[in-house]
């Protein structure tokens, strides 16, 4: 089938809950993807940071293939031999005593909310049903009914009520507003250390430290949603490391699955994780051996090849080059590591279209910001070629 035919068929049978760019990807290797007509592109979005290792990383593919031939699913009715290895590796990497595996990022966020609510009710003594969680404006934590209940994006919410209670929204980056929102029923704050979907917004320096101090002072759990920022994307293993801050609960997903499987988890110490008892939470596929195999291999590569260092160095190089562009429509270029946002004063879609036409895949977020987040193992040669295209497209503007 041609790209045109594939897009027609997709639109005919699929719900229109996405509007993908008009590119069909049929093959991917590292940073390079190919369409049915044989055109090649640099993937500078990486499935919103799920492809930190690039497309079809040979070692991760190999670990998946090996596992595919042995055992793929047991459910949690029985033990499997890989889950304990996954637990041990993630626990050591993130320095938390316990792990709870799920599949998608949204499920992990839901899991963290459940943990915090139970912790509040069973351990802190907040009356059940009154627990509150403080969240930030312009957050993005996923798409379930509970999660969109705390969203401030009208498109995510409209028509989906009744919404889940128990959330208070405060401006992102404002620790004083957060403190003012705390009541005796507050059990947790839920924060993205950098807001990716909102347009790659980093909070003011010191914010995460202030949130940590506030949580300690008021006996509140600090939940960090590192689904998009975790596993080296921002130049540190976790984005909270930038301020040397340790949240109580990490929410993880995307890159944990090595670009192959949906793998997510929360990580926390036992004093929190023990609120979960048999039957109180779970997932048929969470912690399945195939997922564990790719996650174990991904974490091994992450550390062995120093992905945080790679993201830091290449991010600086990329940023320096982007800042050389002279274009009146660009009003800000920001980011950390290889998570970079280019904010425009106008609609970004025509620029994105021109980039794609020239061979660079990227996508706008919230109309005016183009997010660049290439695979962390992009080579300098590939990065240079992509930069050349980006400069050519923007220097015309």
Q: Are 326 and 395 in contact (CB under 8 A)?
A: yes
Whose CA is closest to 173, among 214, 211, 133? 211
Q: Is 192 in the site for ligand PLP (CB under 6 A)?
A: yes
Shortest gap between Cβ of 264 and ligand PLP (angstroms)? 7
HSE-CB for 106 with a 13 A CA cutoff: 11
Closer to ligand PLP by CB, 192 or 243: give it.
Answer: 192
Is 388 among the catalytic positions?
no
Which residue from 120, 142, 259, 287 is in contact with ligand PLP, where contact means CB under 6 A?
142
Closer to ligand PLP by CB, 32 or 362: give it.
Answer: 362
Shortest gap between Cβ of 2 and ligand PLP (angstroms)? 29
Shortest gap between Cβ of 237 and ligand PLP (angstroms)? 16
Closer to ligand PLP by CB, 106 or 301: give it.
Answer: 106
Q: Is 227 in the site for ligand PLP (CB under 6 A)?
A: yes
Q: CA Rg, the chain, in Å? A: 21
Is 168 among the catalytic positions?
no
**Contact stretch for ligand PLP (CB under 6 A) within 90-98, 114-122, 190-198, 282-290:** 190-198
Closer to ligand PLP by CB, 372 or 394: give it.
Answer: 372
Q: Is 196 in the site for ligand PLP (CB under 6 A)?
A: yes
Rounded Cα–Cα distance for residues 369 and 352 (Å): 10
Rounded Cα–Cα distance for residues 3 and 50 (Å): 24
Q: Binders of ligand PLP among 255-314, rule CB under 6 A?
A: none
**Contact stretch for ligand PLP (CB under 6 A) within 103-111, 210-218, 269-277, 290-298:** 103-111
Which residue from 24, 64, 94, 106 is in contact with ligand PLP, where contact means CB under 6 A?
106
Q: Binders of ligand PLP among 322-381, rule CB under 6 A?
A: none
Rounded Cα–Cα distance for residues 173 and 99 (Å): 28
Rounded Cα–Cα distance for residues 39 and 2 (Å): 12
Residue of minimal CB distance from ligand PLP?
105
x/- letters, 16..55, toward ligand PLP (CB under 6 A): --------------------------------x-------
Closer to ligand PLP by CB, 105 or 335: give it.
Answer: 105
Residue with tokens 């670009």, as numbered in its chain: 259
Task: Return the structure tokens found at 337.
Answer: 């590591």
Q: Are 211 and 231 in contact (CB under 8 A)?
A: no
Residue with tokens 């509970």, as numbered in its chain: 146
Q: What is the dihedral of CA 240, 246, 249, 254, to 10 degrees?
A: 30
Is 254 among the catalytic positions?
yes
| Four-residue CA torsion sign, 391, 346, 355, 350 | negative
Q: Are 230 and 50 in contact (CB under 8 A)?
A: no
Closer to ligand PLP by CB, 132 or 192: give it.
Answer: 192
Q: How many CB atoms lie within 10 A of CB 103?
A: 21
Indicate the burial class of 396 (C-beta count within 10 angstroms; 0-12, 13-18, 19 or more). Answer: exposed
Whose CA is closest to 214, among 167, 169, 252, 248? 248
Which residue from 98, 117, 141, 233 is in contact with ligand PLP, where contact means CB under 6 A?
141
Q: Is 110 in the site for ligand PLP (CB under 6 A)?
A: no
Closer to ligand PLP by CB, 136 or 383: give it.
Answer: 136
Distance of CA 228 to the CA centre of its chain: 2
**Contact stretch for ligand PLP (CB under 6 A) within 69-77, 134-142, 152-160, 276-284:** 134-142
Rounded Cα–Cα distance for residues 274 and 282 (Å): 14
Of the residues 225, 285, 314, 363, only one is catalytic, namely 225
- Residue numbers annotated as active site: 140, 225, 254
Which stretches of the chain bind ligand PLP, using CB under 6 A? 48, 104-106, 109, 140-142, 192, 196-197, 225, 227-228, 253
């Amino acid at each position: 089938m041609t790209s045109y035919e594939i897009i027609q068929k997709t639109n005919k049978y699929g719900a229109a809950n996405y509007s993908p760019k008009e590119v069909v990807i049929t093959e991917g290797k590292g940073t390079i993807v190919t369409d049915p007509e044989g055109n090649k592109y640099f993937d500078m979005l990486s499935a919103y940071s799920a492809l930190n290792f690039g497309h079809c990383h040979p070692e991760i593919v190999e670990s998946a293939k090996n596992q595919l031939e042995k055992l793929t699913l047991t459910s949690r009715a029985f033990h499997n031999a890989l889950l304990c290895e996954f637990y041990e590796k993630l626990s050591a990497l993130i320095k938390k005593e316990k792990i709870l595996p799920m599949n998608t990022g949204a499920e992990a966020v839901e899991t963290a909310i459940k943990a915090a609510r139970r912790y509040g009710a069973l351990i802190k003594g907040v009356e059940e049903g009154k627990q509150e969680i403080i969240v930030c404006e312009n957050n993005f934590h996923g798409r379930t009914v509970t999660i969109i209940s705390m969203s401030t994006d009208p498109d995510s919410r409209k028509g989906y009520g009744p919404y889940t209670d128990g959330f208070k929204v405060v401006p992102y980056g404002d620790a004083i507003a957060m403190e003012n929102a705390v009541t005796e029923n507050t059990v947790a704050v839920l924060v993205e250390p950098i807001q990716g979907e909102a347009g790659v917004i980093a909070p003011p320096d010191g914010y995460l430290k202030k949130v940590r101090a506030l949580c300690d002072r008021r006996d509140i759990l600090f939940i960090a949603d590192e689904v998009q920022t975790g596993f080296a994307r921002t130049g540190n293993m976790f984005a909270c490391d930038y301020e040397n801050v340790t949240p109580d609960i990490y929410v993880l997903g995307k890159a944990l699955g090595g670009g192959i499987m949906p793998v997510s988890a929360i990580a926390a110490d036992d004093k929190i994780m023990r609120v979960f008892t048999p039957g109180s939470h779970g997932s048929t596929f969470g912690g399945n051996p195939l997922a564990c195999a790719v996650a174990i291999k991904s974490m091994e590569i992450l550390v062995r090849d120093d992905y945080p260092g790679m993201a830091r160095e290449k991010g600086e190089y990329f940023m320096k080059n982007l800042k050389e562009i002279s274009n009146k429509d660009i009003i800000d270029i920001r980011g950390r590591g290889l998570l970079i946002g280019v904010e425009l004063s106008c609609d970004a879609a025509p620029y994105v279209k021109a980039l794609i036409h020239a061979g660079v895949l990227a996508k706008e977020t919230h109309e005016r910001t183009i997010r660049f987040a290439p695979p962390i193992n992009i080579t300098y040669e590939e990065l240079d070629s992509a930069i050349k295209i980006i400069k050519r497209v923007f220097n015309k503007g």
